[in-house]
Amino acid sequence: MALGKIKRAVMRRLPTTAAASLRAARPRLREQAGSAKATISEMRRWVGRERRARAFRTALAQPVDPQLVLWESFGGNGALCNPEALFRHVIAAADLSHLTHVWALRPQARADAEVVAEFADHPRVRIVDYRSPEYFALLERAGYLVNNATFPREFIKRPEQVYLNTWHGTPMKTMGYDEPDGPLASVNVLRNLLAADVLLSSGPYMTETMYCGAYRLAPIFSGTIVEDGFPRIDAQLQASSAATAQPHRQKTVLYAPTWRGESFQSPRVETQQLAAVLDALDAVPALAGWSIKLKVHQAVYAQAQRDPRLAGRLVANSTPTNTLLAQTDLLITDFSSIWMDALASEIPIVYFAGDYQEYLAERGSYLAPEELPGPIAQTLPDLTAAVTDCVSGAPDPLLAERYAACRRRFVPHDDGRAAARLADVVFLHRPEAAAATRRLSTEAARSAGEPPQASGVMPSSTEQAPADPAKTRIVMYPGGLKPNGISSSALNLLATLDRSRFDLTVVVTEMYAPERTAVRACIPHDVRIITLPKGLIDAPLAGSYTQMLEGEMPPAGSDARGEDDALWAHEWRRFVGDAVFDVAIDFSGYSGKWTRLIAVSGAPRRLVWQHNDLAADARREIDGVRPYQRTLSSVFALYPDFDALVSVSPALQQINEANLARFAAPADGTAPPAFLSVRNTIDAAAILTAARGDVIEPSAAPAAPDGCGLSVELTQLRERYGGPAVAAELERIDIRERLGLSGRARGGGAVTTFVTMGRMSPEKNHRRLIEAFNQTLASGCDARLILLGSGPLEAQLREQAATTVDPSRIVFAGHHSNPHPVLDAADCFVLSSDYEGQPMVILEALTLGKPVITTAFGSVDSAFPDEHTDRWGAIVDCDADDLAAAMTAFARDHAALPQPDFDPVAYNAAALDEFAAAVTGDR
């Protein structure tokens, strides 16, 4: 038997999931085959990942241990912060002696952590290496999970687990969606917060600013927010009292700056500047006899430790910050939230940051400088003067007033007993013990005294109270965000939905392709974006999806189907946690993976969109291949799991219902999903702005002085209109000039310009359009045809165009992120499709006042704003001669077609009513 046959035979005998995993790894291993060292390194990484994945998947199949607590802080960088303080209370509490504890630590932290030595022989405490196979197994087996930051992206929170996230500080710097590129910056943090059962907040400021504002948890977060003190401040307050009782102790200045850099994953530390600050403080006469210490952020400790200039003054990373604060008499910091902890002990504060204004401009702050409870210094002389005033000067009444206000705002509940109250809430299931609690997903929270489950953990957060009726919470998969019609439809819908009626979440796959990230950037800023990163059950999911594609999905109601659904439900929970949604929408309708995820989302109402004649799409051939047959077949098989199948026009609804009703009928005889129609909305304002922009007059900027060139004029235009507006205008000018459309701002001119937009694939039938346009030229018309877009048939179409009467009259313009200036400068939009749903390009053309010539595809009557299609242009048979006749008539006399008078506001209102009825089930 040939080696290839042996390999195939082995792969067929492997479990589907194992085969899928090997297939995924094989290209990477083959790529590294040129280098033995690289191959070994790649093999080691692959084996390590597989070991972690195997332990992770095995743990997912095992019961949760309700007496096991997994503790982690700062990604395993130490036993620190709120988790460390809470742990010390729990391990000493007699009524919690049934719990066993595991700390997750990185190797360096394991060597330094005081907890390791102190509890080395404790029978209920052990250490596990961060990101080891055992660590990932414990992530899925521990009944309680405690973190002050985030568990890794592979983590899946199971319903039986209780996850407490204490966070690590009250925010001063902007966070989450308030940061530049917030959706990307928020990926893993948002995942963790949505998965948590309990979030700790220092008070109303933190709840509103961080949880509700920066991470937009309201109204989908299903857990409880505990507003109380931070456990780490308990020991600080107790030790501060003891230190106050020692009048002759040496006083201490603590310098504690935060990290700098573009991201937490790649921070930087400027050790030369740190040393300069320490030297300057040493020279302050008022600090003679004081101890001066440096505490850097744990993310940059290793870098700081290597600089000998900081030796003897750098505090060990393992030393809890609050232990230092208990011995601190003056705190110097910048943007770190450590100063809010200092408020609890009434420690004087000086802010020092040479890049203060720059930092505020780039990163942003929730607090204005005039709100801070201490002086702000930006130079070393200013710092030494401010320190001298704080130590030996008279108190500033204004700063004293600010200080008192900040204490009330940022540390309202810190009294030294916060850890005990939090332990009661989490481990003894007594939410009434907290200073205050809040629920974001509903106005009617569950009873605070609800008993725990038999397993001994907190009640599952999936048991929800009635939803807040004020808004319908929608989660939507908008498609792969390629620059195509489905993406345009999704963006238009998201832009036009009423925010007072709907809370909007979009779920997308992790992506890096520039054309897709550009589309993602167009999602309205107020839409919550959740990104799905790679995980450790990818191989089983790939195996399950392969079975779906091959038509081998287990039958509904079987045990095998239940296990298969549970696998996909784990993946859904991995990136949305216990978030609560009223409606889940697969807006794409082409991806079996996402259709499956939406089907197991747990939303009470689930819808899948149909943008085209999908039966025809499944049969569509390109070069003898049917690219959508397998994936669409997997989508069709999932139709019985949905409440409604939504076509984008009434005519398309009839087509899809006639062709696909047999797939939608559930095997158990229950009611099938309803076939509905919801027309696409149109964002007219965005289209007009993209096509024409703000009017920038040539005289807006005076001529540049001799010798200065164009840059001065551009600078003056930018100052008047803004950089993005000027850049967009230059792009519009450029594309018009390149396509010979300059001077044709809104159509008109001696040459009649036809334009079409769309992917060059069989259903668009560009071949017929080129043939019809050739006849138009042959009749003596002065015309040209611009084809916007690209696709698999482009080479064939170029060959066809080269044989026409005048090939120079046919312009292949390619794909453009903003095609609207071209459409605006053309005279007529023409479409030659064999089948469509409701093509957005028709509505876009009408918005720009362009008449439309289109073939009579099956749903064409519903593709226009209303049934009076003769108001908008001409509909012709799917025949090149008829299409040519309409184009020729228009080229000879533009009055042959009516000038459209489209009212997008009235159209959108009707389409949005259809959407509202579909998502609420009122139709």
The reported pLDDT for the residue numbered 164 is 98
Residue ranges, comma separated, of all CATH 3.40.50.2000 domains in the chain are: 741-908
Mean of the pLDDT values across residues 735-761? 77
693: left (phi over 0), alpha (psi -120 to 50) or beta: left
- For residue 202, is pLDDT > 60? yes
Q: For the domain 249-410, what is the CATH code?
A: 3.40.50.12580
pLDDT of residue 486: 94
**Percent of the chain residues past pLDDT 90, beyond the cut:** 66
- The Cα-based distances of 662 to 4, 613, 615, 648, 666 in angstroms read 40, 15, 12, 20, 9
Q: What is the pLDDT of residue 449?
A: 34
Looking at residue 539, its pLDDT comes to: 87
**Are the C-beta atoms of residues 652 and 837 closer than 8 Å to each other?**
yes
Q: Which two tokens stand for residue 3?
A: 């080696």
Output phi, psi for 359, to 5 deg: -65, -45
Rounded to 10°, the helix 16-31/36-60 angle is 160
pLDDT at residue 18 greater than cutoff 70: no
Going by the DSSP 8-state scheme, the letter that residue 75 receives in this structure is G
Q: Which two tokens stand for residue 112?
A: 């330094």
Place of tokens 């046919």: 810
User: Given this model, what pLDDT does residue 444 score?
Assistant: 31
pLDDT at 31 over 60: no
Nearest to 431 by CA among 165, 228, 159, 204: 228
| Burial annotation 758-792 (CB, 10 A radius, 16+ → b, else e) | bbbbbbbbbbbbbbbbbbbbebebebbbbbbbebe
β-pairing, 873-876 vs 852-855, is parallel
Tell me the pLDDT tens digit for each residue of 56-72: 999 999 999 999 999 99
Q: Is 642 helix (H, G, I), strand (E, B) or coil?
A: coil
Architecture of domain 472-677 in CATH? 3-Layer(aba) Sandwich (3.40)
Is residue 96's pLDDT more than 90? yes
Distance from C-alpha of 896 to C-alpha of 887, rounded to nearest angstrom: 10
pLDDT band at 332 (very low <50, low <70, confident <90, very high): very high
Q: pTM for the full model?
A: 0.85
741-908 maps to CATH 3.40.50.2000 = yes
pLDDT in tens, 758-798: 999 999 999 999 999 999 999 999 999 999 999 999 999 99
Higher pLDDT, 89 or 720: 89
Q: Check: CB of residue 464 under 8 Å from CB of residue 439.
A: no
Which tens digit of pLDDT belongs to each residue from 209-222? Answer: 999 999 999 999 99
Q: Is the dihedral of CA 418, 419, 420, 424 positive or negative?
A: positive
Contact assessment for residue 576 and residue 584, using Cβ atoms and an 8 Å cutoff: no
Does the pLDDT of residue 711 top 90, yes or no?
A: no
Q: What is the mean pLDDT of the chain?
A: 87
The H or E element that residue 112 is part of is: helix 107-112
Is pLDDT of 113 > 60? yes
**72 half-sphere exposure, CB direction, 13 A CA radius:** 26
Cis peptide bond prior to 219, omega within 30° of 0: yes
Specify the residue for token string 């309700």: 66
Query: Which part of the chain has CATH 3.40.50.11820?
Result: 62-229+418-438
Summarize the confidence of residues 191-220 as an average pLDDT.
97
pLDDT tens column, 579-610: 999 999 999 999 999 999 999 999 999 999 99
CATH number of 62-229+418-438: 3.40.50.11820
All residues at 6 or more sequence positions from 668 whose CB lies less than 8 Å from its CB, including other chains: 556, 557
Determine which of 587-596, 636-645, 831-840 has the lowest per-residue pLDDT on average.
831-840
Element (H or E) spanning 506, and its range?
Answer: strand 502-509
- Does the structure show a pLDDT above 80 at 734? no
**In the predicted model, what is the mean pLDDT of residues 540-564?**
92
Question: Who wins on pLDDT, 318 or 496?
Answer: 496
Token pair, residue 354, equals 């040479």
The alpha-carbon radius of gyration of the chain (Å, integer) is: 32
Tokens coding 356: 């203060």
Structure tokens at 303: 């870098």
Amino acid occupying residue 356:
Y
- The tally of CA atoms less than 13 A away on the side-chain side of residue 321 is 29
How far apart are the C-alpha atoms of 534 and 547, rounded to whole Å? Answer: 20
What's the confidence (pLDDT) of residue 565? 96
3-state secondary structure at position 752: strand
Residue 387 near residue 284 (C-beta atoms within 8 A): yes
Q: Is the pLDDT of residue 551 over 60?
A: yes
Residue found under tokens 């505990």: 226
Give Cβ neighbours of residue 782 (< 8 Å, ≥ 6 apart). Answer: 750, 751, 752, 891
The pLDDT value recorded for residue 466 is 40
Residue 15, pLDDT above cutoff 80: no
Q: Which among 146, 139, 168 is positioned nearest to 71, based on CA atoms?
A: 146
- 236-240: list long-range contacts, CB under 8 Å, 24+ apart: 236/322, 236/323, 236/325, 236/326, 236/341, 236/344, 236/345, 237/326, 237/344, 237/345, 237/414, 237/415, 237/416, 238/326, 238/416, 239/323, 239/326, 239/327, 240/325, 240/326, 240/345
φ, ψ (nearest 5 deg) of residue 749 = 125, 170
Q: How far is CA 95 from CA 189, 423, 448, in A?
A: 32, 10, 21
> CA-to-CA distance for 389 and 395, rounded, in angstroms?
8
Max CA distance (Å), the chain: 105
DSSP state letters, 234-292 = HHHHHHHHHHHT-TTSPPEEEEE---EES-TTSEE--HHHHHHHHHHHHT-GGGTT-EE
**Lowest pLDDT segment from 17-26, 176-185, 680-689, 747-756:** 17-26
Q: What is the pLDDT of residue 460?
A: 34
Q: How far apart are CA 786 and CA 775, in angstroms?
A: 16
Q: Structure tokens of 877?
A: 């048979």
Where residue 848 falls among pLDDT bands split at 50, 70, 90?
very high
Burial environment of residue 724 by CB neighbours within 10 A (0 to 12, 13 to 18, 19 or more): exposed
**What are residue 461's DSSP bridge partners?**
none
H or E segment to which residue 147 belongs: strand 142-147
Are the C-beta atoms of residues 836 and 863 closer than 8 Å to each other?
yes
Least confident of 192-196, 414-418, 710-714, 860-864: 710-714
Percent of the chain at pLDDT exceeding 70: 85
* 3-state SS, residue 610: strand
pLDDT at 319: 85
pLDDT digits (tens, 9 = 90+) for 447-469: 333 433 333 333 333 333 344 55
User: Taking a C-beta distance cutoff of 8 angstroms, is the pair 195, 578 a contact?
Assistant: yes
Kindly indicate the confidence band of residue 548, based on its pLDDT and cuts at 50, 70 and 90: very high
Per-residue confidence band for 394, with pLDDT thresholds at 50, 70 and 90: confident
What are the two backbone dihedrals, phi and then psi, of residue 779, each rounded to the nearest 5 degrees?
Answer: -80, 0
Higher pLDDT, 585 or 245: 585
Dump pLDDT digits (tens) for 752-769. Answer: 999 999 999 999 999 999
pLDDT at 745 over 60: no
The per-residue pLDDT for 26 is 58
Q: Which two tokens stand for residue 211?
A: 């949880």
Give residue 768's pLDDT.
Answer: 97
Provide CATH 3.40.50.12580 ranges for the chain.
Answer: 249-410
> Of how many residues is the chain composed?
923
Say whether pLDDT at 134 is over 60: yes
Check whether 860 has a pLDDT greater than 80: yes
